């Protein structure tokens, strides 16, 4: 646990962009590892297995959050007079970002949040966790070529979303 704790937390916070949820996910990951360690089949390394569990827990959390958002939206449409969304995401600030880069990081994390989940996962594991593409492929149970393709699409989508912001800053 001590060897992988920080990596699990960093992956979780980068994917879910919520400190409390990332802590809960990290705890849940290690409970799952403890309960499932006897079923570990050693086809991959222990760290790859733990990353896979972490990514799956993060994706489960994000799917549940999206269901809550949809439910909140429908409640607002049909049952609410306030006109406010109950599940709006507050602006997320990653704890590892230096102060002078926080504004740019805010835009980046907002843009990452809009990526499809497979592109987001590949981007986070590649650029934030700095994992090799071979490991990412193993974690996500896809080919290295698929990782490359997803990464390229993620970067293109981020360029489209962030391009106008950076152009505006230059002026």
Distances (CA, A) of 46 to 65, 131, 157, 168: 29, 14, 32, 45
Residue-wise pLDDT for 114-154, tens only, equals: 999 999 999 989 988 888 999 999 989 999 999 999 999 99
Higher pLDDT, 170 or 160: 160
H/E stretch holding 167 reads: helix 144-170
pLDDT at 166: 67
Domain 2-170: state its class. mainly alpha
pTM for this prediction: 0.60
């Amino acid at each position: 646990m001590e060897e992988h704790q920080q990596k699990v937390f960093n992956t979780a916070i980068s994917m879910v962009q919520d400190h409390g949820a990332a802590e809960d996910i990290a705890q849940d990951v290690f409970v799952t590892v403890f309960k499932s360690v006897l079923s570990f089949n050693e086809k991959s390394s222990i760290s790859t297995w733990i990353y896979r569990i972490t990514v799956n827990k993060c994706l489960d959390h994000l799917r549940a959050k999206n269901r809550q958002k949809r439910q909140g939206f429908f409640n607002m449409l049909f049952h609410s007079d306030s006109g406010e969304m109950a599940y709006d995401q507050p602006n997320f600030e990653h704890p590892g970002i230096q102060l002078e880069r926080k504004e740019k990081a805010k835009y980046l994390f907002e843009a990452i949040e809009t990526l499809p989940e497979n592109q987001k996962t590949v981007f986070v594991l590649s650029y934030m966790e700095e994992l090799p593409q071979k490991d990412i492929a193993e974690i996500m149970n896809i080919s290295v070529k698929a990782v490359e393709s997803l990464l390229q699409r993620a970067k293109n989508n981020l360029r489209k979303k962030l391009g106008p912001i950076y152009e505006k800053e230059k002026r």
